[in-house]
Structures are given as structure tokens and as C-alpha cells.
């Protein structure tokens, strides 16, 4: 089921105690998976949104030639919809779930489960600048 793949949007919110206030997508992507989860939980909502947007954007750039115009449009819109407020601890679970469900519905209408997993799923592979 597609909801399984959106751990990035459902990861719990915690304080910023990772040892630095900001991680770039490249720094984050090169961490071992366990450290990624810990770091993601400890960085700011702004940084979380930035990392998720960058993952989707790089996946889109890497796969653009194989995607339809509709798929590209949905992914570009998804990038715009990823906002720090999604990762704010003040956002109630019901609202967060509603946003995630809408996000999944939009993606699921044009992408396969495999594509969703690659662009924004739990453990989505890091995409280096050279791979774009």
C-alpha cells in the first residue's frame, strides 16, 4: 500500500539535538539509514522540508525523460506542497494524516508504488548531484 512509502511525511517530530542545526540533502543522504532517521527527527521543520523537496526534485531530474507530462506536473506540484508546517510538532495528527493522504492520492494517481518509493519513500536511495 502506498501509505507505507511515505515515512518521510510521517516521521515523528523531535527537538533539534543532532549536533548541528542544519543538514544539507547531500550530508543527509550519505548517512547510514539509522543515522538518517535520527538526524531527520532532530533537525528543524524547515530543514526536513528542504531535504524531502530535494529528494523528490533529484528523483524527478534523474527520471524526467521516462515520465509523462502528467507525472512531471504532479511531482512539481508535490515539491511545492512540501512545507515546513508539515513537520511542525504543533501540527495535529489528524491534519497531518489528511495532508499525507491527499499527497499520496495525487502521487498514486500517476505513479507506481515503485516510483513513489524511489522518489519519496522510506529509505529512498540518495541521489548524488552527478546522478541528476
8 A C-beta contact, residue 11 and residue 36: no
Supply the pLDDT for residue 66: 97
Query: Does residue 110 lie in a domain region?
Result: yes
Query: Does residue 131 lie in a domain region?
Result: no
Query: Does residue 127 lie in a domain region?
Result: no
Q: Render the chain in DSSP notation, one character per residue.
A: -GGGG-HHHHPPP--S-SSSS---HHHHHTS-HHHHHHHHHHS-HHHHHHHHHHHHHHHHHHHGGGS-HHHHHHHHHHHHH--GGGG-TTS-HHHHHHHHHHHHHHHHTTS-HHHHHHHHSTTPPP--TTT-
Q: Label residue 60 by pLDDT band (50, 70, 90).
A: very high
Query: Does residue 34 lie in a domain region?
Result: yes
Supply the pLDDT for residue 121: 83
Total domains in the chain come to: 1
Supply the pLDDT for residue 132: 67
Average pLDDT of every residue of the chain: 85
Query: Does residue 105 lie in a domain region?
Result: yes
Query: Does residue 5 lie in a domain region?
Result: no
Query: Does residue 12 lie in a domain region?
Result: no
Q: Any residues with CB less than 8 A from the CB of 50 and at least 6 apart, and which?
A: 25
Percent of the chain at pLDDT > 90 equals 65
Supply the pLDDT for residue 117: 92
Q: Label residue 123 by pLDDT band (50, 70, 90).
A: confident
Query: Does residue 82 lie in a domain region?
Result: yes
Describe the crossing of helices 69-81 and 113-120 by its angle, rounded to 10 degrees. Answer: 40
Q: Mean pLDDT throughout 67-79?
A: 97
**Parent domain of 87:** 23-120
Q: Label residue 3 by pLDDT band (50, 70, 90).
A: very low
8 A C-beta contact, residue 65 and residue 49: no
The 10s digit of each residue's pLDDT in 10-28 is 443 333 444 457 999 999 9
Amino acid at each position: 500500500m502506498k501509505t507505507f512509502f511515505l515515512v518521510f511525511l510521517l516521521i515523528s517530530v523531535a527537538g533539534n539535538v543532532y549536533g548541528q542545526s542544519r543538514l544539507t540533502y547531500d550530508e543527509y543522504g550519505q548517512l547510514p539509514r539509522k543515522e538518517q532517521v535520527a538526524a531527520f527527527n532532530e533537525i528543524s521543520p524547515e530543514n526536513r522540508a528542504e531535504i524531502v523537496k530535494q529528494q523528490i526534485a533529484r528523483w524527478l531530474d534523474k527520471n524526467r525523460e521516462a515520465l509523462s507530462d502528467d507525472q512531471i506536473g504532479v511531482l512539481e506540484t508535490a515539491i511545492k506542497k512540501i512545507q515546513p508546517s508539515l513537520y511542525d510538532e504543533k501540527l495535529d495528527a489528524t491534519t497531518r494524516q489528511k495532508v499525507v493522504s491527499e499527497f499520496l492520492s495525487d502521487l498514486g494517481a500517476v505513479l507506481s508504488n515503485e516510483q513513489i518509493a524511489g522518489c519519496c519513500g522510506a529509505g529512498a536511495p540518495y541521489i548524488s548531484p552527478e546522478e541528476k
